[in-house]
Chain A
């Protein structure tokens, strides 16, 4: 029979004791892969009712630490204590039985299975009696509503959901297990602002009932909002622990990187905008949405923003030639001036390049060498007598990797690089095509702070050199600090166009919810 999910705690007793009893304590955990030590000293604890943020740059060993605690990998040394009892989770199953539930960085949804099956995957007995299914349906629906505030058709295959809904799906799956310790590894990167807040509210509700949470995110604002304590990880070692209020964002960045924080200064544009590169006239993204016009000029860095699924994704794909708009005309500057978009291939030939959102699925082939992943679309120019000269590709790569601030190391396969470096290779690939218009679909997702800032500088420089940069982003800070202008979408319509002094995080967020343009301009002035 099915085990009835129960509250992990009897009552809410102590609101904020000096040291809540540790749900999990990790001592001197270590793990190496061949010669490299991914984690050399993982020592931290998470107390009951506590949200602890694990901070570190890419490659600092966060993910490995998470995999060790969740039973995916086995540690070489060290101890894991759950409720004070030494435990060695030998498999994810064992970890789950110990109450450690993990939402992994990659969204692991079984695409062909229904949402219902997905959220109950591996939870309880798989026997399908009618009463059990009805009960599960009720609980799943309630959990989904509680998290997202929306209804969902539980019988839909998970593959038909948007990326954000799939993310909700895996979080709901974890919550339905009533975890003792919930680990969220970069699980908020696809969530929009509303969803993040709802998730944080849910986390607070759960922690007040005694759940412990280990939270991992690259978004400093999130971490500061939600965490009670911060654990900084550097090169596989836990280097510092700070309580909330003991450290500012700058302090934390210093702890993580060992450097001074890069102050998020608004970058002023260096050049005056050039000729029109993209012209949108009478665009209606959906039958129900209002038409709008917009222009992007050479030298512009334009942001596309909105809550997930409100039209910005359709628009960037339409400009790339990867999908239609409902009505209206998308003109783009190719070799012969402004012309209607005629498919992806012709777009690339005319100098419009597109960096897709999902690196692993659309961006690269992780088993192939970096050089293939860089050079394939432009390989024609490395040919001589019909044969490719790898040395030419290598030379080109050296030049373009310099532009994106990528330092080629010993690794040959792109799969071994960090997310940020993979993104740099992908961008370099398209720089080689000599782009006039660069379309970026959320390019800094899952990229650490330092690399993010390097990428911002790259985008800025490209714009200064005369490219038009259009970038979809789900991160408010990024939009405010990087963009010349931001187009905000709500329900398929352009709800605001923010620039200059009007481009503030408050204005952005209210535009996400469809506050009218006039209102915003008023409040800005």
Chain B
């Protein structure tokens, strides 16, 4: 009983139950969904969404409105640079391009971080700026969608582990491992402490600016992984597709129960949030509803879920504050 009650009060309660319910309905309509026939395709679709949700987590954790709007365009630019620049210039091989792409994403994050931490600009302004820059550059480099993915990208879309997963799930493994290492090293704890009260962290000798840079850089790294995942998914270059991931990532984080004000939060929640958002879409498109309906339902579910999240979270965070009536 107490276990149930504890579980119900966990910040993950809403998102976990949402995923379970949606999965059940989806399976009811399409029993083969988790079978070897469909699963790899499904996961391949999910990989970039999950990774981009992960990308926005670290900066949000550090508080002071640390929303990273640029994660979506980073996906786009990774895709565009690979197909539109690296491949034509003979850098399309896995050994050359993967490190370059990851470095690219990390560098974008790092620049964001430097501007936030040392120039002390508001994160939304900085990442709005880099959003526009990256989205613009993507279109300059590649005005039209272009085909022609390098062979390693094609290879990554092949099946793995007896056909249950696509090889691009490896990207998830890399990201998850990276996050676990950061957690073990205590970095995540420090990011949360900064998000909760940066002055306490600063006066306790924590190098706040450096950690802020690290948080944004890690976000950029995850976004670059997501960009690779996106390229694996579409097997081509598309300069406009990345942008739309930004708001989906924010929605996933909020759905996962992480407060956008920072200081608290998990990585599991946003990942599940991304899964839930994805399941809503599959459910509706499976039911052959117009894509416009998807947008309406998407908004409604998001609204209801965050309201529920807030009433759970509100109880948790209840402080001996004042109730002005």
- Whether the complex brings A and B within 8 Å at their CB atoms is answered yes
Residues B185-208 near A (CB distance < 8 A):
185-187, 189-190, 192-193, 195-197, 199-207
Which of these, B183, B199, B204, contacts A123 with CB under 8 Å?
B204
The CA-CA distance from A109 to B199 in the complex, in Å, is 9
* Number of A residues, CB within 8 Å of B: 39
Closest CB in chain B relative to A415 CB, distance in Å? 15
Question: Is the CB of B320 closer than 8 A to any CB of chain A?
Answer: yes
Contact indicator B324/A322 (Cβ below 8 Å): yes
The CA-CA distance from A40 to B195 in the complex, in Å, is 36
Question: Is the CB of A110 closer than 8 A to any CB of chain B?
Answer: yes
Which of these, A104, A159, A323, A344, contacts B203 with CB under 8 Å?
A104
Question: Is the CB of B5 closer than 8 A to any CB of chain A?
Answer: no
The CA-CA distance from A160 to B264 in the complex, in Å, is 14
Residues A25-52 near B (CB distance < 8 A):
none
The CA-CA distance from A91 to B317 in the complex, in Å, is 33
Question: Is the CB of A189 closer than 8 A to any CB of chain B?
Answer: no
Contact indicator B324/A126 (Cβ below 8 Å): no
Which residues of B have CB within 8 Å of A160?
319
With A110-B193, A112-B195, A121-B200 as known contacts, state yes or no: A96 contacts B205, CB within 8 Å: yes
Residues A92-110 near B (CB distance < 8 A):
92-93, 96-97, 102, 104, 106, 108-110
Contact indicator A93/B193 (Cβ below 8 Å): no
The CA-CA distance from A109 to B186 in the complex, in Å, is 18
Question: Is the CB of A276 closer than 8 A to any CB of chain B?
Answer: no
> How many inter-chain residue pairs (CB < 8 Å) link A and B?
93
Question: Is the CB of A117 closer than 8 A to any CB of chain B?
Answer: yes
Question: Is the CB of B6 closer than 8 A to any CB of chain A?
Answer: no
Which residues of A have CB within 8 Å of B203?
70, 72, 92, 102, 104, 108
Mask: chain B, 296-325; 1 = CB below 8 Å from A; 0 = not:
000000000000000000000101101111
Question: Is the CB of B184 closer than 8 A to any CB of chain A?
Answer: yes
The CA-CA distance from A168 to B12 in the complex, in Å, is 31
Contact indicator B205/A108 (Cβ below 8 Å): no
Closest CB in chain B relative to A322 CB, distance in Å? 5
Question: Is the CB of B273 closer than 8 A to any CB of chain A?
Answer: no
With A126-B185, A322-B323, A323-B323 as known contacts, state yes or no: A112 contacts B202, CB within 8 Å: no
Q: Looking across the interface, which residue of chain B has its beta carbon closest to that of A361?
A: B321
Closest CB in chain A relative to B43 CB, distance in Å? 31
Closest CB in chain B relative to A433 CB, distance in Å? 15
Mask: chain A, 129-167; 1 = CB below 8 Å from B; 0 = not:
000000000000000000000000000000110100000
Question: Is the CB of B123 closer than 8 A to any CB of chain A?
Answer: no
Contact indicator B322/A322 (Cβ below 8 Å): yes
Contact indicator A108/B184 (Cβ below 8 Å): no
Mask: chain B, 80-104; 1 = CB below 8 Å from A; 0 = not:
0000000000000000000000000
Closest CB in chain B relative to A165 CB, distance in Å? 11
Which residues of A have CB within 8 Å of B183?
128
Mask: chain B, 200-236; 1 = CB below 8 Å from A; 0 = not:
1111111100000000000000000000000000000
Contact indicator B263/A121 (Cβ below 8 Å): no
Closest CB in chain B relative to A307 CB, distance in Å? 16
Contact indicator B324/A112 (Cβ below 8 Å): no
The CA-CA distance from A127 to B183 in the complex, in Å, is 8
Question: 3 closest pairs, A vs B, by CB?
Answer: A126-B186, A122-B204, A110-B196
Residues of B at the A interface (CB closer than 8 Å) are 183-187, 189-190, 192-193, 195-197, 199-207, 263-264, 317, 319-320, 322-325
Residue pairs across A and B with Cβ atoms less than 8 A apart, 14 shown, are A70-B203, A72-B203, A92-B202, A92-B204, A93-B205, A112-B195, A113-B192, A117-B193, A122-B205, A123-B204, A128-B184, A159-B317, A173-B204, A322-B322
A102-B203, A111-B263, A317-B322 known; 20 new pairs, CB 8 Å cut-off, are A70-B203, A92-B205, A108-B200, A108-B203, A109-B197, A110-B196, A110-B197, A113-B192, A113-B196, A121-B201, A121-B204, A126-B186, A127-B185, A128-B183, A159-B319, A322-B324, A323-B322, A344-B324, A345-B324, A356-B322
Residues of A at the B interface (CB closer than 8 Å) are 70, 72, 91-93, 96-97, 102, 104, 106, 108-113, 117-118, 121-123, 125-128, 159-160, 162, 170, 173, 317, 321-323, 343-345, 356, 362
